[in-house]
Amino acid sequence: MGCIPSIFVFQPFLSESTSILKYNDENALSCVINLAFYSARNKYKMVRELPAGRGFADVVFVLWRNVDLPAIIIELKWKKDAITAIDQIKRKNYPAPLKEYAGEVILCAISYEKSGKEHNCIIERI
């Protein structure tokens, strides 16, 4: 899928777009995701902290009408692995607000640590 940046593209983009003092801050990561998807704004509406299921999804890309692309749910997880984040998306039913959407939904979990620049990512289609 051309519209989904890989983690390999995400890391250099993150380095170029954030302060070294706030590199692994959830707000900084969310802003970088917004920048990375800027070119897709004509197809998606980005919603941060969307009330979803039993919690709040960190970032959700909701499609404008008549666009044949997947909706995207992103969960950022600090000091936990990406598996924990993807499990949270499913356990708390973050796809619930997209129940009217008939297309594919992409679940993306990104884990990060406060120190270091390594991120892990899991992407699943449902």
DSSP letter for each residue of 73-111: EEEEEESS-HHHHHHHHHHTTTTGGGTT--S-EEEEEEE
Distances (CA, A) of 101 to 6, 66, 83, 120, 121: 24, 11, 25, 28, 24
* Range name among 18-22, 80-84, 97-101, 121-125 with the lowest pLDDT average: 18-22
Residue 39 DSSP class: G
The pLDDT value recorded for residue 25 is 62
How many Å apart are CA 32 and CA 74, to the nearest integer?
A: 12
> What is the pTM assigned to this prediction?
0.74
Q: What is the mean pLDDT of residues 61-77?
A: 88
How many Å apart are CA 31 and CA 123, to the nearest integer?
A: 19
Q: Are 11 and 117 in contact (CB under 8 A)?
A: yes
